[in-house]
Amino acid sequence: MDPRAKLAGDVAIGAYAVVGPDVELAEGVWLGPHALVVGRTSVGRRTRVFSFAVVGEDPQDKSFDRETSELRIGADNVIREHCSIHTGTRKGGRVTSLGDDNLLMNSVHVGHDAQIGSHCILASYSGLAGHVVVQDHAVLGAYTGVHQFCRVGESAMVAGGSKCAQDVPPFALVHGDRAVLKGINAVGMRRRGFSPAQIAAVHRAYHLIFSSRLRLEPALARVRAELADSPEVARLVCFLESSERGFCR
């Protein structure tokens, strides 16, 4: 451990773990044996980093020129064995970030400038390329791959082995190479505490946008008119309208 690192008093560090000089570890952080935490990295309270995880290393980006960049990790995350999470780059705002209460299973890769929300699950061997955004409560099945600059919306479920080359809409269930829409993630919404009426509103919005044979703009206009009282539908519409890569259908 570098003596310049900033550690709370109750941080636990396993045998042969490495902590770099610019690292900050908050209260209750636990590093397993042989874990590596380096770079300008801050780790929030009670986060656990397991053996052989590599956290805060330089980006895998040929344009990276040793510019100052960061990795910010929130509270109560679990980062399992052999995960790799890299700092940001000049092109992406210099910051990679994870929110709170995320589970990254073994061998997950989080590329430079990725932005992961809170309460997400990334199953084993999933990979996020640079500049990916994963919103709150999303679930990525094992061996999922997400293309650079793609977004995965809130409470979306990406089935194992899927390859996402376009945005995954909020509340969606997608599968395949390339990933296509299979319905809404009603199970995930119920687990999150959404009411039957809220789920029904999202289901109606999905029908109008993806199954009604309306073109996108008229479909969105009808969704706004019929479902104006649904904040979940409003977030869905905003997500689709802001898509730069297109979205799964």
130, 141, 153, 188: the catalytic one is: 130
Angle (CA) 234-224-151 rounded to 5° is: 40
- Known catalytic residue: 112? yes
Nearest to 166 by CA among 139, 188, 148: 148
Phi–psi pair at 65, nearest 5 degrees: -125, 40
Q: Which of 20, 99, 109, 113 is catalytic?
A: 113
Give yes or no: 39 in active site: no
What single DSSP character describes residue 195? -
The yes-or-no answer on residue 61 being catalytic is: no
* Locus of tokens 């999905």: 206
CB atoms within 10 A of CB 15: 8
Measured between its terminal Cα atoms, the distance across the chain in Å is 49
Q: Name the catalytic one among 109, 112, 137, 147.
A: 112
Active site residue ranges: 112-113, 130
